Chain A
Amino acid sequence: MLREYQEQYANTNEQFVFVNKIGVVLESDNVLFKIAKDSSIFDFHLFFESLESLFDGNEEEETKFHCIHIYIDSDLYIVDILAVVKRAGVLLIIKNLTDHYNSYQTITQTRNESVIKTELTVLKNLELQERERFKNSFIQNFSHELRNPLMSIMAISELLADTKMSNEQLQMLKFLKESNMNLRLMLEDTLSIGMIDAGRLEIEKKLFGLQRFFEFIQFTYTAKAKNKGLKFVCSWDGKIPEFVEGDRLRLFQIVTNLLDNALKYTEAGTITFEVQLNQKRANKASVQFRVTDTGLGISLENKEAIFESFFREDASENIKGTGLGLTIAKRLLELMGSKIQLTSELGKGSDFYFDVLFKYPLLSSIEAIPRKNSQEAFIGSLGKEQRKFKILLVEDDEYVQTTLFKILLNTNRFKIDLAYDGALVFQEVVSNNYDLILMDANLPNVDGIQITKLIRDFPFKNIKDIPIIGITANAYQENIDQCLNAGMRKVLIKPFEKEELLKAIAKALK
């Protein structure tokens, strides 16, 4: 009988086994494995033990099992098994496909590993993005919450300075103001790094006076260096255009971060700020900025690491700050299409330099640039008639409200009405003739942006044209743009200084 079946299915890699309905081996050609006659096929391998249910199938019923791993005397055979129910038992045809399946295993292994790796990478990226979102939202909320109290502390310190105080009190006030300023700078640093990380910081291209920028740096850092017993040398190339297009604030942030860093890590000697013109072509000028110190210096192995957030070459507690200054300088320069360079020797000092490409305008177009005036000049510019301007102050934070109220009243040029709730503002605006509105962007019920839009849509000119100056603790550009698009003339970011406020008001009232 077996011969008959062999003729039908013969193959050199195939073994034919015939078993009766209770699994006893009746015949086997033993091409692949030795399976003894009269033994139970269920004892030969576990695979067959699970086949019992097939044995009662209909005659000629075929079931094929692919890729079964069978170990015989520690040799692995990967086989396909065809079970065919016959009248007298079950025919088992075992086909050895070990080589074929080994190739398949290699391909599958590569494919599966690649799929899993990709999946895990995607998950990891999602997790990192989620963390980044959380971090940025935390920084945003944190800085927002800090701005209101900081604003009050700064403004009240300024108001205190106008009162009669003893020398000791003046000294204490000076420390208080310095501490406030440091806190504000740290807050700005933290917010900047959050904005850069979130891709929300855009470099502006506005005309500003580079010459005045240098003068300001010279004035400020000569005093700062002197306080620490250091010499500050500041020089700039006379061929550099007086006015350039760029982001004054961010350039200031880069330069002051480098200078503050130099001051922090230099105990004796000189800090140098040097600006050179690389070249001028058409209406573009490439300018090199260089900050050199005679301080601690940076070891070779830390030359890259010092640009990482919170890294410090000297971890001693005497060095203050967030450890973000150089990171911010580097990242801002990258946004400007530039790169910070460093040469340094441990114990001898450091030399940071970078190039910035500025566009500069024709001379005739710079006439309109306003020169900086003093606070008195701005207030004076409100007009010779000493009428008091009527201002509506819309602010829900009690401390900020009190502070602004006091600053404005001290000038003796304003009458102030207060509103706490966005929903009540419109009523006030309609029933009073205000010269100006100071509007907090984040108010309960209806926010300042919505109210501004409502006012701008009002049919009567005396109401729709009231100048509105926004106040916000949310320093992100998109928030500022929202305020401006709604119709605010100017947006002041908390904490701001008295002079900044008065200047904005004077400009709006002109």
Chain B
Amino acid sequence: MLKSKKIVVLGHFGVGKTSLIRRFVTDTFSDNYTVTIGVHITKKVVEISVDKTMSLILWDLEGTDDIASIRKAYLLGTHGAVFVFDISRPSTFQHLKEDLRIVTEQMPDIPLMVVGNKSDLAEESELKNRLQENSISVDFLTSAKMGTAVNELFLKLATLLSSDA
């Protein structure tokens, strides 16, 4: 039986969580910003290796500027998490350390990917400086718009979950 894993994608509003999932699942992108309320759930089967697949159930959570206010029920039974911020809006990563502390406190012992999205909005060197200035280390710099590093992100997470299983 194909093993399913629940992944929550969370972060402040407008950082591109829905766009990342849409790019990963349907390989499409829209410039129109439609706010997500509550949760949207989608699924994608990924091939981890030649004879190994995994079904990722992606919970696209409503963005909030207060990570502590995320409803606990959404996080129940989560296998992996993706925390997304917008590299072009400092308000979404100004309190990143505190945000991540809250997330890991609520979901201990699960793989967590920290993702700076909208990487297409800055030059690579400028981006690195910006992250360095804010003492931020990220797992992936993605661009849902351009498709940069999106598949790699979810594949990496799936691989981690596979080795955890």
Binding site for B on A (CB under 8 A): 45-47, 49-54, 63-69, 78, 101, 104-105, 108-109, 112-113, 115-116, 119-120, 123
Q: Does B163 contact A (CB under 8 A)?
A: no
> Are B38 and A66 in contact, CB atoms less than 8 angstroms apart?
yes
9 extra interchain contacts, Cβ-Cβ under 8 A, other than A66-B73, A69-B39, A115-B14?
A46-B41, A50-B4, A50-B76, A63-B73, A67-B37, A105-B37, A113-B35, A116-B14, A120-B89
Name B89's contact: one of A45, A63, A105, A119 (CB within 8 Å). Answer: A119
A50-B6, A63-B76, A66-B71 given as contacts; is B35 within 8 A of A108 (CB)? yes
Of the candidates A49, A50, A105, the one having the most CB atoms from chain B within 10 angstroms of its own CB is A50
Among residues of A, the one whose C-beta sits closest to the C-beta of B5 is A50
Cα(A113)–Cα(B91), bound, Å: 14
For window 37-63 of B, CB contacts with A under 8 Å fall at 37-43, 57, 59, 62-63
Interface size on B, residues (CB 8 A): 28
A51 to chain B, nearest CB (A): 7
Of the candidates B35, B40, B63, the one having the most CB atoms from chain A within 10 angstroms of its own CB is B35
Of the candidates B13, B37, B90, the one having the most CB atoms from chain A within 10 angstroms of its own CB is B37
> Are B76 and A104 in contact, CB atoms less than 8 angstroms apart?
no
> Are B77 and A47 in contact, CB atoms less than 8 angstroms apart?
no
Cα(A119)–Cα(B88), bound, Å: 10
> Are A49 and B4 in contact, CB atoms less than 8 angstroms apart?
yes
> Are B34 and A109 in contact, CB atoms less than 8 angstroms apart?
yes
Give the chain B neighbours of A67 by CB distance below 8 A: 37-39, 62
What are the interface flags for B64-98 relative to A under an 8 Å C-beta threshold, 1 for contact and 0 otherwise?
A: 01000001011011000000000011110000000
B87 to chain A, nearest CB (A): 12
A69-B40, A116-B89, A120-B89 given as contacts; is B77 within 8 A of A105 (CB)? no
Cα(A112)–Cα(B91), bound, Å: 13
Cα(A109)–Cα(B34), bound, Å: 7
Q: Looking at chain A's contact residues, is the secondary structure mostly helix, strand, loop, or mixed?
A: helix
Cα(A113)–Cα(B77), bound, Å: 32
Give the chain B neighbours of A115 by CB distance below 8 A: 13-14, 65
> Are A112 and B13 in contact, CB atoms less than 8 angstroms apart?
yes
> Are B37 and A119 in contact, CB atoms less than 8 angstroms apart?
no
A50-B77, A54-B77 given as contacts; is B41 within 8 A of A112 (CB)? no
Give the chain B neighbours of A53 by CB distance below 8 A: 76-77
A80 to chain B, nearest CB (A): 9
A50-B59, A50-B77, A63-B76 given as contacts; is B37 within 8 A of A113 (CB)? no
> Are B43 and A101 in contact, CB atoms less than 8 angstroms apart?
no
Give the chain B neighbours of A78 by CB distance below 8 A: 37-38
Sampled A-B contacts (18; CB under 8 Å): A45-B41, A47-B41, A50-B59, A52-B77, A53-B77, A54-B77, A63-B73, A66-B38, A67-B39, A68-B38, A68-B41, A69-B38, A69-B40, A69-B41, A78-B38, A101-B37, A109-B34, A123-B89
Among residues of B, the one whose C-beta sits closest to the C-beta of A110 is B35
Give the chain B neighbours of A68 by CB distance below 8 A: 38-39, 41
Give the chain A neighbours of B42 by CB distance below 8 A: 46
Give the chain A neighbours of B40 by CB distance below 8 A: 69
Cα(A50)–Cα(B35), bound, Å: 23
B40 to chain A, nearest CB (A): 5
> Are A119 and B91 in contact, CB atoms less than 8 angstroms apart?
yes
Give the chain B neighbours of A113 by CB distance below 8 A: 33, 35
Among residues of B, the one whose C-beta sits closest to the C-beta of A113 is B33
> Are B14 and A105 in contact, CB atoms less than 8 angstroms apart?
no
B90 to chain A, nearest CB (A): 8
Cα(A65)–Cα(B34), bound, Å: 22
> Are B35 and A105 in contact, CB atoms less than 8 angstroms apart?
yes
Among residues of A, the one whose C-beta sits closest to the C-beta of B79 is A50
> Are A54 and B76 in contact, CB atoms less than 8 angstroms apart?
yes
> Are B57 and A50 in contact, CB atoms less than 8 angstroms apart?
yes
A67-B62, A120-B89 given as contacts; is B77 within 8 A of A46 (CB)? no
Cα(A53)–Cα(B90), bound, Å: 37
Among residues of B, the one whose C-beta sits closest to the C-beta of A45 is B41
> Are B74 and A112 in contact, CB atoms less than 8 angstroms apart?
no
> Are B37 and A108 in contact, CB atoms less than 8 angstroms apart?
yes
Give the chain A neighbours of B38 by CB distance below 8 A: 66-69, 78, 101
Cα(A68)–Cα(B88), bound, Å: 30
Among residues of A, the one whose C-beta sits closest to the C-beta of B33 is A113
Give the chain B neighbours of A123 by CB distance below 8 A: 88-90
> Are A49 and B73 in contact, CB atoms less than 8 angstroms apart?
no
Among residues of B, the one whose C-beta sits closest to the C-beta of A102 is B37
Give the chain A neighbours of B88 by CB distance below 8 A: 120, 123
> Are A112 and B35 in contact, CB atoms less than 8 angstroms apart?
yes
A158 to chain B, nearest CB (A): 49
A101 to chain B, nearest CB (A): 6
Cα(A49)–Cα(B89), bound, Å: 35
Give the chain A neighbours of B34 by CB distance below 8 A: 109
Give the chain B neighbours of A65 by CB distance below 8 A: 39, 71, 73-74
